[in-house]
């Protein structure tokens, strides 16, 4: 949240809150030596259509996801590997909670070991196929990292076994994951696609990391590519 004056002599200020979504309230008058009660400021994240599901909270943090309350322990991705040894992180959106998904999706190689390259599979059921012509998937990240000089973190998405989107040169390298933080360079991307790709009954959305170069081993097991989740939301429009 930030505040700015309309002029150097004006008693009014403007409150702002930026991405993801934006909140702005103009002309809040603040008199000298008095307390100003602005009342309850209600704000909801903007929607582009009918919400089918949302995982997480758009708060620029991965705290509500799995291990998000223990982020100061360096190397949590190694614990996640023990939790999901086959690399398939399956989540059922209909009755699951954000904490069922690790707050980071991280690929790494330790020493001469086998690369661990996990994928996230989100399963969700629809009672009927959407009647709307389009659907939108919001993917908000609280951070992302990529080893090497390539400044972006790329992702590959598929829906029901068919390619959905290749997100390239969009999410920039941050660094909070290496620093064992819970928020860093917050970014988001909205993928719009024909709603006919969604079907009545079971659907599966798969998210994969796309390394820019051949995986490199690290003696410490530091990730060569990773993303930290903020929120995911699917809407029909």
Tens digit of each residue's pLDDT (9 = 90 or more) over 130-180: 999 999 999 999 999 998 888 999 999 999 999 999 999 999 999 899 888
Quick one: 121 and 169 in the same domain? yes
Quick one: 71 and 172 in the same domain? yes
**Of the segments 34-43, 58-67, 210-219, which one has the largest average pLDDT value?**
58-67
pTM score, whole prediction: 0.81
pLDDT, position 206 = 98
Distance of CA 73 to the CA centre of its chain: 21
CA atoms of 25 and 20, how far apart (whole Å): 16
Angle CA 62–64–65, to nearest 5: 70
Flag whether pLDDT at 233 surpasses 50.
yes
Quick one: 11 and 56 in the same domain? no
Quick one: 68 and 5 in the same domain? no
What does each C-alpha distance from 162 to 66, 91, 154 come to in angstroms? 28, 19, 18
Quick one: 104 and 212 in the same domain? yes
- Report the number of distinct structural domains present in the chain: 2
Contact 171, 141 (CB under 8 A): yes
Quick one: 58 and 124 in the same domain? yes
- The residue segments making up the domain with residue 105 are 50-236
Quick one: 226 and 131 in the same domain? yes
Q: What is the CATH number of the domain that holds 132?
A: 2.60.120.260
CA-nearest of 91, 93, 102, 67 to 226 is 102
Contact 235, 124 (CB under 8 A): no
Flag whether pLDDT at 51 surpasses 60.
yes
Flag whether pLDDT at 110 surpasses 50.
yes
CA atoms of 28 and 36, how far apart (whole Å): 9
Quick one: 21 and 82 in the same domain? no
pLDDT, position 20 = 47
Contact 114, 186 (CB under 8 A): no
The helix, strand and coil proportions of the chain, stated in percent and rounded to the nearest 5, come to 5, 45, 45
Q: What percent of the chain is predicted at pLDDT more than 70?
A: 86
Top pLDDT among 56 and 114 is at 56
Average pLDDT rounded to a whole number, residues 70-93: 92
Quick one: 128 and 216 in the same domain? yes
Quick one: 163 and 56 in the same domain? yes
Task: Tell me the backbone φ, ψ of residue 73, rounded to 5 degrees.
Answer: -90, 110
Quick one: 107 and 8 in the same domain? no
pLDDT band at 33 (very low <50, low <70, confident <90, very high): confident
- Take residue 194 and report the two structure tokens written for it: 């024909």
Quick one: 226 and 165 in the same domain? yes
Q: What is the pLDDT of residues 133-146, one digit of tens each?
A: 999 999 999 999 99
Average pLDDT rounded to a whole number, residues 39-46: 67
């Amino acid at each position: 949240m930030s505040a700015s004056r309309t002029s150097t002599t004006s008693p009014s200020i403007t409150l702002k809150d930026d991405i993801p979504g934006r909140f702005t309230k103009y002309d809040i008058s603040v008199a000298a030596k008095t307390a100003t009660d602005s009342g309850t400021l209600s704000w909801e994240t903007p929607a582009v259509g009918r919400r089918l599901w949302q995982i997480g909270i758009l708060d620029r943090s991965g705290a509500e996801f799995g291990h998000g309350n223990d982020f100061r322990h360096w190397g949590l991705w190694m614990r996640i590997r023990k939790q999901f040894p086959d690399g398939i992180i399956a989540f059922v959106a209909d009755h699951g909670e954000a904490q069922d998904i690790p707050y980071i999706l991280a690929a790494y190689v330790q020493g001469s070991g086998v690369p661990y390259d996990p994928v996230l599979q989100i399963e969700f059921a629809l009672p009927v196929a959407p009647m709307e012509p389009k659907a939108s998937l919001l993917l908000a990240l609280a951070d992302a990292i990529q080893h090497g000089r390539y400044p972006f973190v790329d992702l590959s998405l598929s829906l029901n076994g068919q390619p959905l989107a290749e997100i390239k040169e969009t999410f920039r390298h941050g660094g909070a994951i290496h620093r064992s933080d819970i928020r860093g360079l917050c970014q988001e991307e909205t993928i719009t696609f024909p709603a006919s790709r969604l079907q009545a009954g079971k659907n599966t959305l798969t998210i994969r990391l796309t390394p820019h170069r051949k995986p490199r081993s690290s003696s410490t097991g530091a990730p060569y590519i990773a993303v930290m989740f903020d929120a995911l939301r699917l809407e029909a429009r």
